Chains A and B, each alone.
Chain A
Amino acid sequence: MSYRARGVAAAAVIALLGLTLTGCGGRRIADAHTGDAAGQVGVDVKTHTITIGATAAKTGSSAAFYESSLGAQAMVAKVNAAGGINGWKLDYVVVDDGYEPNRAVSGVKQLVEQDNVFALVSMFGTPSNAATMPYVVSKRVPDVGFAMQTGIVARKYPDAKNLFGYIPPYANLAAFVAHYLAQSHVDAVSLAYQDDDSGQGAQAGLRAQAGTEHVRIGVEVPVPTSATAFDGYAGRLAAANAPAVLLWMPPALASGIIKASAAIGYHPRWLAPFFVPIPSFFDALGPLADGVEFESWLEPLDSGSAGMTAFLGAMRQYTSVQKPSINAELGWIGMGIFVAGLAKATEGGRTPTRQGLIDALNSGETIHPGDLATAVSYGEQSRVPGAVLDRILRWHGGRLEPVYGPTAGISLPVELLR
């Protein structure tokens, strides 16, 4: 009898769970893979509020990237404080994904199907975005200002009109580094890259451009992101003895390789992508960081432009981040693209719709998100930015100094992207 009681109690708990899940509702609908609800999803015409959302790494070992979400939230706060976009205020729902692809997928499903967001905005991270994209494309939800290695988008989703990335494919950025080295009369370069989407994209670009500009590739060294010792990698780079090495990997790995190389007396010209120059990288290397060069398609944080001043001010005013990094700038740009698109979609008192937003962004007009120098435009044939303004900065005397550019970046054909 006691076990029957146990079963009844179990049934009660499960029924309660079921009722919670269904919200005590009673709507019978067809199974998954139904089409997108047309019309004014995520738009509250009574309160003039638009609900948008994103998943972000609030927790976990990659939670440093959460600063990107704070950048986006700072812009939302600034826009709302100024009365909204053509009178429409924004409600930004952020769900934790721990930088885990499967949690990102369930988070996006929650945002789209449960929270009925109008659009996904400023989703951060290549693994998360790569995992959610099949679903987002199938549902035709506007996915605006996502930060990822967009070579994947260019190759896999060239016709998905609802996708609006802005970070150039890493192949293009690595190609720019090869171009810079050729201009600097460097005849050979080695590549150490994180063994994932990000690094392999850079590998493709470096190979393509180095071949064109007759820069020899010394050695290519894949490095797993879980590496804790770097002496073997340093040994391979030193054996190839190229005068320059491009390190396409997170700051902690890049500093590890530079340190290990210095220990065996290998001191090439080090180059790294835009996401490496963060304070902990320079702190880790100390004097060894002097002379390291960085590809930087983003507007430098110390540019002093009006847009950058507004960004830094909003971060200080609306978030707890007093010294934002480029991660925050990426979030700010992502949200800036949405704000620009919504402003155009609601011109003349039009009620916002998902299709209206998609059409407005795909009009081909150039957008300077958040009034920064970074420019993007989308049209029928372009889902991701092509050639952007790019530059090389060098760490010297405790600050980043411009050494090359800004100048037009490289735009490789889609078939060369990864």
Chain B
Amino acid sequence: MIGVVVGGVTAGCLYALVALGLILIYRTSGALNLAQGATATAGAFAVFWLHGSLGVPVGLAVPAGVLAAAGLNLAVYGVCVYRLERRGADLHATLVSTLGATLIIGGLLEVALGYDPRTLHLFDGVPGPSVAGVRIPPVALLIVASALAAFTVLAVVLYRTRLGLVLRMGASDPRLTELSGVSTTLLRAVVWAVAGALSGWGVMLFSAYQTLSTAMMEALLLSSAVAASWGAFRNIPLTLGGAVGLGVTTSLVQRFVPVVLVSSISLVLLVVVFLLWQRRQGAVRVRAASLSARHPRLTVKRVRWLPKVEVAALVVAGLAVWWYGTDYHLSLLRFLVATMIAVTGVATALRYGHRLNLAAGGQMLIGAYLGGILSRHLPVLVAIALAVAATALLGTLLGALTVGLEAIYYATITLVVTAAVPELVMLGDRWTGGAHGMTLPPLPDPFSVAGIGLLTPLLVLLGGAVLAGYYGYGLSPLGARALAGATDRSLAEASGLNPVAAFLTVEAVSAALLGLAGALLAFDIGYVGPSQWGLGYTLLLVGAVLIGGGWSATGLATATAVIGLVPTLVGNLAGWPPVIFGALLVVLILFAPDGVDGVYGGLARTRSSRRDPGGADPARAAAAPAPAEVSGV
């Protein structure tokens, strides 16, 4: 028992070191640095290379590795974040640019160093102290000591020194700090480097405590993000407590719960406690009355232009492919249509709810599995319809639990959903087939005419309808209400709108679209397995939406092509596709923040302004109406 607790504390201290880096960066730059794991891993791999291949002594290789991690994190700030900061970009933009950096660094590491797990040999043969018969490895002691030292030093620096005062001032009011003659850019650069060094040190110790493999980095980052959430990305002791609590809970669940949900149980448990705590703290201020508030009669400013041409062009192109294409083209077309529906689901949450739905992969799995289970007793189409409705219901529930939370907590909690669903699927082995996955019946083609199947064109039309609905929603009172609430909640409430109901509607629609996409993809290939759409796929979806832009059918079509076609086109460049995709993400988010669609719209606006200098972009105007305008004021 003592050994289990000691192990849990050690793991927790490791999460704490990475979480500390996340907090420092979030508080100074407002960014959730997804590249933290990659830069830290790169630092650890630098040690393996220096020590293992070049024979540099460990005493020199380790500091060099820490410096490398710090330098890389600094480079991520300089290249991927600095420009966004100057532009005042939000959390989503930095999330995507650091995701791009993750892909680039991870891809280059794989190309240069291969994929084998590595172990750093520190203190080999040195017996650690014994506590109640349990021998504690020296590396474990070093991890715990490092975490305690880092947290103590940080607390002292932040709250007892002038530097800390400047740091806190820079975090709360950068403009005031600049006016005081302090360079916030320099401050942030230092913080990013320190965060990189801390994480690099932690991951390096982890590679000595266990074995470092790229597969573990995702889980490490997730656990650290949850720990940072516990400290509300600001409270240092609570973060340390959350991290150690997570480590110990995981260890105890591993020890005493004889089911496979070990990682999910501890994560979900902590998220639930966190939500309760947040509500107690008043972080979520939802007036129960507002849920039943009467809506004023809305007068939505009508926009003449509707992207009819783009939607129609997509549908026509799809039908052309159906008419002229081979079997392969048809299956590719169905795949692209379903992927586009998934992309639209993520875009809905992002555009109408200003939320990054990282539960996307999990919701696709829910739609596919529920459809599969129901199809054993019901016709396939009925099963899919019910599965979509159930996914929408679960999405609404998730929305109700997270309404009012800051974007970063929402992202973290939805991340946990995507991590937990596959384990729930495994637990329901009897219904889901567990690890084997489920074989599904084919999508029916009830309207076959003269031997010509109409399944594909019907799906193309469904895709067109989803696109049209996506834009139509924005122009409807309901969508306008959602946009207004997401844009400025207080003002929306003051204008008599009900942002909570609007938010829940967006959550339901987003989940329904993702459930539908999952079901269509799974039924079309005749199979669904628990590892089908994980965190990696979810991040790919989000990245693709931001590349495309999501403001026009062309933007969504671009996003779909990025997911559906790019991996196939560059698939033969072993190791390089993630690097290429990552570079694309970074370049686009830096230089074309509205994605391909933004470049496109920008060109159109330029032309428009030449003709009508006072003209505004009607699509944008429709997309982001002011609350007062929506309410008819």
Q: Do A and B bind each other?
A: yes
How many whole Å from B4's CB to the nearest CB in chain A? Answer: 4
Contacts of A107 in B (CB 8 A): 568, 571
Task: Report if A8 contacts B (CB, 8 A).
Answer: yes
Task: Report if A46 contacts B (CB, 8 A).
Answer: no
How many whole Å from B120's CB to the nearest CB in chain A? Answer: 10
- Contact pick for B611, options A1, A59, A101, CB 8 Å: A1
How many whole Å from A247's CB to the nearest CB in chain B? Answer: 14
Chain A: CB-nearest residue to B118:
A280
Contacts of A255 in B (CB 8 A): 117, 119, 210-211
Task: Report if B292 contacts A (CB, 8 A).
Answer: no
Contacts of B533 in A (CB 8 A): 102
CB <8 Å contact, B532 and A228: no
Given A10-B313, A98-B567, A131-B525, A197 and B436 touching (CB < 8 A)? yes
Task: Report if A365 contacts B (CB, 8 A).
Answer: no
Chain B: CB-nearest residue to A18:
B317
Given A4-B309, A63-B575, A31 and B252 touching (CB < 8 A)? no
Contacts of B453 in A (CB 8 A): 30-33
Given A96-B577, A102-B521, A228 and B220 touching (CB < 8 A)? yes
Task: Report if A91 contacts B (CB, 8 A).
Answer: no
The interface stretch among A109-117, A356-364, A402-410 is A109-117
CB <8 Å contact, A232 and B254: yes
CB <8 Å contact, B567 and A96: yes
Task: Report if A236 contacts B (CB, 8 A).
Answer: yes
Chain A: CB-nearest residue to B452:
A30
Task: Report if A34 contacts B (CB, 8 A).
Answer: yes
- How far apart sit A280 and B213, CA to CA, in the bound complex (Å)? 10
Given A2-B604, A229-B7, A232-B8, A101 and B117 touching (CB < 8 A)? no
CB <8 Å contact, B313 and A224: no
Encode A94-108 as 1/0 by CB contact (under 8 A) with B.
Answer: 111010111101110
Task: Report if A278 contacts B (CB, 8 A).
Answer: yes
- Contact pick for B327, options A32, A196, A234, CB 8 Å: A32
CB <8 Å contact, B313 and A15: yes
CB <8 Å contact, A235 and B330: no
- How far apart sit A379 and B333, CA to CA, in the bound complex (Å)? 38
Task: Report if B3 contacts A (CB, 8 A).
Answer: yes
Contacts of A27 in B (CB 8 A): 324-326
Encode B511-523 as 1/0 by CB contact (under 8 A) with A.
Answer: 0000000000100
Contacts of B604 in A (CB 8 A): 2-3, 5-6
The interface stretch among A75-83, A178-186, A260-268 is A260-268
User: How many residues in B have their beta carbons less than 8 Å from beta carbons of A?
Assistant: 126
The interface stretch among B24-32, B258-266, B273-281 is B258-266
CB <8 Å contact, B439 and A227: no
How many whole Å from A207's CB to the nearest CB in chain B? Answer: 15
How many whole Å from A330's CB to the nearest CB in chain B? Answer: 16
Task: Report if B608 contacts A (CB, 8 A).
Answer: yes
Contacts of B561 in A (CB 8 A): 17
CB <8 Å contact, B110 and A59: yes
Task: Report if A413 contacts B (CB, 8 A).
Answer: no
- Contact pick for B263, options A30, A224, A236, CB 8 Å: A224
Contacts of A252 in B (CB 8 A): 117, 210-211, 213, 215-216
Task: Report if B149 contacts A (CB, 8 A).
Answer: no
How many whole Å from B337's CB to the nearest CB in chain A? Answer: 13
Question: Which of A10, A227, A232, A279 is packed against the most chain B CB atoms within 10 Å?
Answer: A232
Question: Which of B136, B250, B251 is packed against the most chain A CB atoms within 10 Å?
Answer: B251
Chain B: CB-nearest residue to A94:
B572
- Contact pick for B4, options A4, A235, A251, CB 8 Å: A235
CB <8 Å contact, A58 and B115: no
What total count of A-B pairs have CB within 8 Å?
338
Encode B423-442 as 1/0 by CB contact (under 8 A) with A.
Answer: 10010000000111101001
- How far apart sit A119 and B583, CA to CA, in the bound complex (Å)? 36
CB <8 Å contact, B254 and A32: no
Task: Report if B591 contacts A (CB, 8 A).
Answer: no
Q: Which of B437-473 contact A (CB under 8 A)?
A: 437, 439, 442, 445, 448, 451-456
Task: Report if A284 contacts B (CB, 8 A).
Answer: yes
Q: Which of B195-229 contact A (CB under 8 A)?
A: 206, 209-211, 213-216, 218-220, 223
- How far apart sit A359 and B626, CA to CA, in the bound complex (Å)? 71
- How far apart sit A230 and B328, CA to CA, in the bound complex (Å)? 45
Chain B: CB-nearest residue to A236:
B255
Contacts of B529 in A (CB 8 A): 101, 127, 130-131
Given A63-B115, A195-B435, A252-B211, A32 and B7 touching (CB < 8 A)? no
CB <8 Å contact, B116 and A64: yes
Task: Report if A7 contacts B (CB, 8 A).
Answer: yes
CB <8 Å contact, B211 and A32: no
Given A5-B604, A10-B309, A58-B575, A232 and B7 touching (CB < 8 A)? yes
CB <8 Å contact, A152 and B436: yes
Chain A: CB-nearest residue to B327:
A113
Chain A: CB-nearest residue to B533:
A102
CB <8 Å contact, A224 and B423: yes
- Contact pick for A10, options B223, B554, B605, CB 8 Å: B554
How many whole Å from A198's CB to the nearest CB in chain B? Answer: 8
CB <8 Å contact, B324 and A28: yes
Encode B599-618 as 1/0 by CB contact (under 8 A) with A.
Answer: 01100110110010000001
Task: Report if B578 contacts A (CB, 8 A).
Answer: yes
- How far apart sit A3 and B608, CA to CA, in the bound complex (Å)? 9
- How far apart sit A164 and B166, CA to CA, in the bound complex (Å)? 68
- How far apart sit A191 and B580, CA to CA, in the bound complex (Å)? 42
Contacts of A418 in B (CB 8 A): 436
- How far apart sit A283 and B252, CA to CA, in the bound complex (Å)? 29
Task: Report if A13 contacts B (CB, 8 A).
Answer: yes
- Contact pick for A2, options B116, B209, B456, B607, CB 8 Å: B607
- How far apart sit A131 and B616, CA to CA, in the bound complex (Å)? 49
- Contact pick for B110, options A63, A236, A256, CB 8 Å: A63
Chain A: CB-nearest residue to B7:
A231
- Contact pick for A263, options B7, B250, B310, CB 8 Å: B7
Chain A: CB-nearest residue to B259:
A222
Contacts of B259 in A (CB 8 A): 222
Task: Report if B179 contacts A (CB, 8 A).
Answer: no
Question: Which of B436, B532, B607 is packed against the most chain A CB atoms within 10 Å?
Answer: B436
CB <8 Å contact, B332 and A21: yes
CB <8 Å contact, B116 and A280: yes
Contacts of A21 in B (CB 8 A): 321, 325, 329, 332-333
How many whole Å from B438's CB to the nearest CB in chain A? Answer: 10
- How far apart sit A204 and B165, CA to CA, in the bound complex (Å)? 61
Question: Which of A17, A32, A113 is packed against the most chain B CB atoms within 10 Å?
Answer: A32
Contacts of B326 in A (CB 8 A): 22, 25, 27, 29, 113-114
- How far apart sit A252 and B305, CA to CA, in the bound complex (Å)? 57
Given A2-B604, A21-B329, A64-B115, A225 and B215 touching (CB < 8 A)? yes
Task: Report if B92 contacts A (CB, 8 A).
Answer: no
- Contact pick for A31, options B452, B526, B552, CB 8 Å: B452
Chain A: CB-nearest residue to B114:
A64
Chain B: CB-nearest residue to A325:
B116
Chain B: CB-nearest residue to A11:
B313
Q: Which 7 A-B pairs have the closest CB atoms?
A: A231-B7, A31-B453, A232-B254, A7-B309, A113-B328, A264-B3, A11-B313
Other CB < 8 Å A-B pairs besides A96-B567, A196-B530, 14 of them? A9-B600, A14-B554, A27-B324, A31-B455, A32-B442, A32-B455, A62-B115, A127-B531, A222-B259, A225-B215, A226-B216, A263-B137, A283-B119, A284-B117
A-B contact pairs, 23 of them (CB 8 A): A2-B611, A3-B619, A10-B557, A11-B313, A14-B316, A18-B320, A22-B326, A63-B575, A101-B531, A102-B532, A106-B525, A110-B328, A130-B437, A130-B529, A131-B525, A196-B435, A198-B435, A199-B435, A226-B263, A227-B263, A233-B254, A280-B211, A287-B125
> Could you tell me which A residues sit within 8 Å of B by CB distance?
1-11, 13-15, 17-18, 21-22, 25-34, 58-64, 66, 94-96, 98, 100-103, 105-107, 109-110, 112-114, 127, 130-131, 133-135, 138, 152, 156, 195-200, 220-222, 224-236, 238-239, 251-252, 255-256, 259-260, 263-265, 278-280, 283-284, 286-287, 418
